[in-house]
Amino acid sequence: MLIIHGDNIIQSRQKLKEALDQARQKGLEIVRAEAKNLTEAALEELLGATDLFGTGNFIIIEGLHSLPRSKKKDALIEQTVSHQTDNLVLWEKRSLTKTMLKKFPAAKVEEFKSSSATFKWLELLGTPRQKQKLELLHQGIAADSDYFCFIMLIRQIGLLIQAKDGGKIAGPPFVVQKIKSQAARLTMAQLLEVHEKLYQLDLRQKTSRSPLNLAQELDLITLSL
C-alpha cells in the first residue's frame, strides 16, 4: 500500500503518475475513485474487485482523509485499513497526521510538503518589501518549482478577491484573519488587474508565446504588488 500526501500537489501528482506508469507496465487495470463519491457498499465492491484472471486492480482513492468528519468517513477509513494491498494507493492533497498514518503501519508513506519560503512570499504580497519578496519567491521556485508558485499565486489572489468582496473564507480563524488583513492592504482594482495578468500569463505559457520564462513573469507580478 502506498500513501501519497502533502500540500505540494505538483510533486505528489508526479509521484502518483510514476506509480500509475509502473502499474500499467505490470498490466494492471487502473481504477480511480474520489472518496466523496463513495458509499460503504461501493468501496467494498471496489476493494474486492478482481479481473477475469484473478489479478487485483490497481486502485487509487483520492481525498479519503479530507472528507468532512462523519461516521461515513470513519467507516470508509476502517474498510480501507482492512483491505490493505500492494495495489492500493491513497492520495491526499493535505499532509496527514501521525495519528491518521498510525492506522496503516505497513504502508509506504511519501509526503510532499511545500517550502515555507513559498508561503512567506505569498503572505508578503501587498507590502513594500520588494527585495525580501523576490528572495522568498526565488527560494520557493528552487524548492517547489516555478509552476507550483504560479498555481499558489493564482489561489492566493482568488482568496484575496473573495475576502475583499466580503465572501466567506474557509479555514482556521487565524488563517482567515491573515487573508483579510492582507486583502486590506490591496485595492480590488489591484487584485483584479493581477488576476487578469495571471489569466493572460497562463494563456501565453500554454501557447509558448511569452518572451519571458515563468520565473521572470512571477518576478514582475511580485514587484507589481
CATH of the domain at 177: 1.20.272.10
pLDDT tier at 172 (50, 70, 90 boundaries)? Answer: confident
Q: Is the pLDDT reported for residue 52 higher than 70?
A: no
Residues with Cβ within 8 Å of residue 220, at least 6 apart in sequence: 212
Helix axes 146-164, 214-224, angle to 10 degrees: 30
Same domain, 105 and 127: no
How many other β-carbons are positioned within 10 Å of the β-carbon of residue 154? 16
Q: Is the pLDDT reported for residue 124 higher than 90?
A: yes
pLDDT at 194: 95
Mean pLDDT, the chain, integer: 90
High-pLDDT (> 70) share of the chain, %: 97
Q: How many domains does the chain have?
A: 2
Same domain, 106 and 143: no
Range of the domain at 27: 2-111
Q: Is the pLDDT reported for residue 209 higher than 90?
A: no
pLDDT at 91: 96
**pLDDT (mean) for 27-35:** 91
Same domain, 65 and 95: yes
pLDDT at 210: 74
Q: Is the pLDDT reported for residue 51 higher than 80?
A: no
Q: Is the pTM of this model over 0.85?
A: no
- Nearest alpha carbon to residue 182 among 220, 125, 130: 125
Last residue of a domain, one of 57, 80, 111: 111
Same domain, 10 and 67: yes
pLDDT tier at 205 (50, 70, 90 boundaries)? Answer: confident
Same domain, 145 and 75: no
pLDDT at 55: 63
